[in-house]
Every structure is written in structure tokens, then in C-alpha cells.
Amino acid sequence: MGERPKLLLKIDGESLLRRAARLAREAAARPIIVVAGRHAESYRSELDSWTDRAAVSLVHHLDWAEGLGGSLRRGVAALPADWPPEATFFVLAPDQPLVSTPQLAGLRKLLEARPEVTAVACAYAGTVGVPALFRYAWRERLLTASGDVGARRFLSLYRREVAALPFPDGDCDIDTEEDYAAALSRLSAPRHDATDT
């Protein structure tokens, strides 16, 4: 998006940033950690004007140019280190505008139903990726993320431990002005929230 802070783009009058934080809150995620890089101050201002600001911690990732892996690592590092193994955490990408509360609830339901797996992830475009819900054992794994390698690579590497929840709209993400226009078009069309397997 060039110089434009893309997480301030609006979907139904709500910024992508606030929308992701709201979805996390509705999924009963605590704490909610936002990793912000280049436009951290703009994002901080956007969160400061949100009524639920107290629920969100913002981590400023100074080395944001490192890529997606660095952001993932910083967010996971901000999680409490002493949580029990049965604890869980979500990883969300705010630039996926078609993620919904039922989708996140479906991830939680699937993980509860499959005690033998250590993570559940959304399946789209021939792979699994975020949003995903991880058991806490994944914290140590994801702390090794670096460069432009995000959660998807780890989900593929440990695929036998991962259950998949269909999410046909998961391939919609916003990286350009054209993506934003396409997302707005898709949002006006009927969508499928996969909450059952």
C-alpha cells in the first residue's frame, strides 16, 4: 500500500485494525496483542480511540522490514511464558477482511473436539494458514520465526499435528489498492462461514 497504513482501511465503517481486535475480543482472546511496525504510531492512535483499548497491548516491532516472521515472533514473545500447556492462542492477520466471529468459534470448537492435535488452521487455496488456533506448545516453535516466513510454513512443517477447518474466503487479503477494491466487492457478495467440519 506504499505510504498508506493499510490497517486503517475501512470495512463497513470499521478499520481493519479495530476489526481484528474486535474479532479477537469476541473470540474471548486475552490478552490481545497487536504487533505494529512502520505505521505503529498511526495504529496506536487508532487503538487509543477505541472503546475497548484496555483489552489491547501494542508491540512496536522496530525491525518490521525483516518480514512477517519477525512480527510473528514478536507477538508470540509477548505472550506470558508461564501459561500451562493446555492454554491456547490465536494468530490472526488483520488484512484478511472476510474472517468472522463464527470462523474463530469454529477453530475453537474443532480444537476442543480433536484433543490429539496441537493446532487448528483454516484451509484455503490448497494449503492451511491463519487464522489459526495453537496449543501453547507452539509458542516455543513460533519463537524461531524469522524473515518473511509466517505461521503457514510452521503449519506445513508440523502438518500431522494440525486439523483443518475449511475457509474458502481465506485467500482474500489486502496488500494493494486493487486487493482492497476486490475485498469490498467480495464483502457485498454472499459468503460462507465454515463452523463445522
**CA gap 72, 149 in Å, rounded:** 9
Q: What is the pLDDT of residue 85?
A: 86
Average pLDDT per 10 consecutive residues for the chain, totaling 197 residues: 86 94 94 91 90 84 88 95 92 96 97 97 96 96 92 96 96 93 86 51
Q: Cβ distance 24 to 32 under 8 Å?
A: yes
**CA gap 155, 145 in Å, rounded:** 12
What is the residue type of 168? P
Q: Is-cis flag, bond preceding 131, omega within 30?
A: yes
Q: Cβ distance 104 to 167 under 8 Å?
A: no
Q: What is the pLDDT of residue 53?
A: 75
**CA gap 70, 135 in Å, rounded:** 20
Q: Cβ distance 74 to 91 under 8 Å?
A: no
Q: What is the pLDDT of residue 181?
A: 93
Q: What is the pLDDT of residue 196?
A: 45
List, as one string, the DSSP characters of the chain: -TTS-GGG-EETTEEHHHHHHHHHHHTT-SSEEEEE-TTHHHHHHHHHTSTTGGGEEEEE-TTGGG-HHHHHHHHHHTS-TT--TT-EEEE--TT-TT--HHHHHHHHHHHHH-TT-SEEEEEETTEEEEEEEEETTHHHHHTT--TT--HHHHHHHTGGGEEEEE-GGGG---SSHHHHHHHHHHHTS--------
Please name each of the domains of the chain with its CATH number. 6-187 (3.90.550.10)
Q: What is the pLDDT of residue 66?
A: 87
Q: What is the pLDDT of residue 15?
A: 95
A 10 A CB-CB count for 30 gives 10
